[in-house]
Chains A and B, each alone.
Chain A
Amino acid sequence: MRLPAANKASMLLGICVPSLKQGASKFKIKRLELDSNLHMYFTKFEFVYAHDPQKQCKTGDIVLIEQLPQKLTMLITHGVKEIIYPLGDVTCPLTNKKVVASKYRDHIDAINKVYGERPGAFNYKNAPQRGWQEDKKDFSHVDTYIKYHDDGTEQPYAV
C-alpha cells in the first residue's frame, strides 16, 4: 500500500479544522497531485491529527506541525510546533502591527480618540484571550450536524 504523502514529510503546514478529540487537533493539509494523463495538478486534502494538550489551535489557524518520533496513538502522529497565523489576530509582516481586515488597529484607535472614545466600547487591552466563549456561545470549534434524531436531550452541536 502506498503511504500518504503527508506521512513522508517531517514538518507540515496545516489549517486547523473542527474536531472533538481531546488533547489533539485536526489539521487539513493541501497537496497537489499530478494526474499523469492530463498533465495537470489537482488539489488533494489530507487530514492529520497533532498532539495539542492545551487545545491552543482554533479552527482556521495555520499551524506548523511536526512528526513525532513515536506515534502517540493510532491517529495522533504529529505534534503542534508553532501557530504561525492565529485566526482573527493578524500581524502585518512588514510593520509588525496588528491588523483588523484592511486597517491597522492603531489607526482605528486614533480615529476613535478624535471622535471621543466611549467607555462601553470594545477594548483590546481588557479583552480576555480568544476562546473564552468556546462551547458557550461560540461553537466554531465543533463540526456541527443537522439534527437527525429527537431523543429528548439537548444537542448543542446540532443545527
Chain B
Amino acid sequence: MNKILNHNKNIIQITIRNYAFKSDLKIKWVRPEKIPCYKPEKSGDLSPFPKINKSEYLHEFRKSKELETADENVKRLFTLEFNSRKYSTQFYNKRAMEEVKRHEFDTGSIEIKLARWTGYIRAWQEAMERFPRNKRLKVKLKEVIDMRKKHLRYLRRWDYKKFEWILENLNLIYKPSPTESTWVTRKGSLVKLTDKYCADIKKDKLEKYRYLLEAEQPAFLEEKLRTLQFIRNEQNDCGVEVTVSDDEINKVKQLLEELKLKRTPVEEN
C-alpha cells in the first residue's frame, strides 16, 4: 500500500508545473556594476601611471653636453615640463624598458614589447579618466590591452619562467579568459546562487557531523583502553592465552594523548 502511495506521490511531483516556479529562498541577487574594458581592474594593471619628475630632460637630450653649459632658461625649455605629455609617456616607457632589457641594444624582444605596451596602456588609462568621451583613444587602448594579453598567453606557452618574471616586474595580473562567456542574466545567476547555497548547506552539515564524531573520539578511546586492560587482566587471571598485546594498549594511549593535546588550545580560546 505504502509503495503505491509513494509511487503516486512521485507522479504528482512530476506533473507539478515548474516553469513558473519561484524559489522561497531568501537569496538576494545584486547585479555587478559594469566595469569598462579599459579600466585597470579589467586590464590587470596593478600600479597606475606614476608621477613623473617634470624637471628631467627629454630622453634624446639627457646626455647632451651642450645643455650642461647652456643658459638656465634654455635648460628649462628642454625639460618635460615645457614639452607635451607625449614626451613624459615616452620617458616613462624608456625607463620601464631599461629594466627588462636583455642586452644594451635590445629593442624588439618580447619583454621590451610588453614593457612598452604596458607603459602606453597606463598612460592612456590616465588620459581616459580625464577625457572619457575620447572614443578613438578608447578603441586604441582596448586593442593594445588585448594584444598584450595575447602575447602574455604566448609567452606563457614559450617560456613559463620568463612569463612569471615579467608579471612580477611589470606588476601585472594575468587571468585567462573564461571558457564559458555568456552574458550575466538574472535567472542564470539565481540558479548559480541557489546551487552554491545548497552546496554550502551540505558542507555545513557534514562539518557539524564531523565535529560531533570528533567530540566522541576521546570518550571512545578511554572506553577502549579500559576494555582492553580489563580483557588483558582477565586473561592473565584465568591463565588463558593473552591476546591483547602491550603495543595495542600503548597505541591507544598515544592516540588519546595526541587528541588531548590537539583539543587543549581550542578549549582555551
Contact = CB atoms under 8 A, between A and B. Distances in A.
Given A118-B103, A159-B175, A88 B159 contact: yes
Interface residues of A, number: 44
Interface in B17-46: 29-33, 42, 46
Contacts of A111: 103
Contacts of A115: 103-106
Interface in A116-159: 116-118, 120-122, 124, 127-128, 130-133, 137-140, 143-151, 157, 159
A34 interface: no
Given A118-B103, A118-B104, A130-B164, A150 B159 contact: no
Contacts of B55: none
A101 interface: yes
Contacts of A112: 102-103
Most-contacted residue by chain A among B29, B104, B165 (CB, 10 A):
B165
B160 A150 contact: no
A110 to B, nearest CB: 11
B101 interface: yes
A137 B102 contact: no
Interface string A36-69: 0000000000000000000000111000000000
A100 interface: yes
A149 B167 contact: no
Interface stretch (B179-187, B223-231, B251-259): B179-187
Interface of B: 29-33, 42, 46, 99-106, 111, 154, 156-168, 172-184, 188-189, 192-193
Interface of A: 18, 58-60, 86-90, 100-101, 108, 111-112, 114-118, 120-122, 124, 127-128, 130-133, 137-140, 143-151, 157, 159
Given A89-B161, A111-B103, A127-B162, 14 more contacts: A89-B159, A90-B158, A101-B154, A117-B103, A127-B165, A130-B161, A137-B174, A138-B163, A138-B174, A140-B175, A146-B183, A149-B32, A149-B189, A149-B193
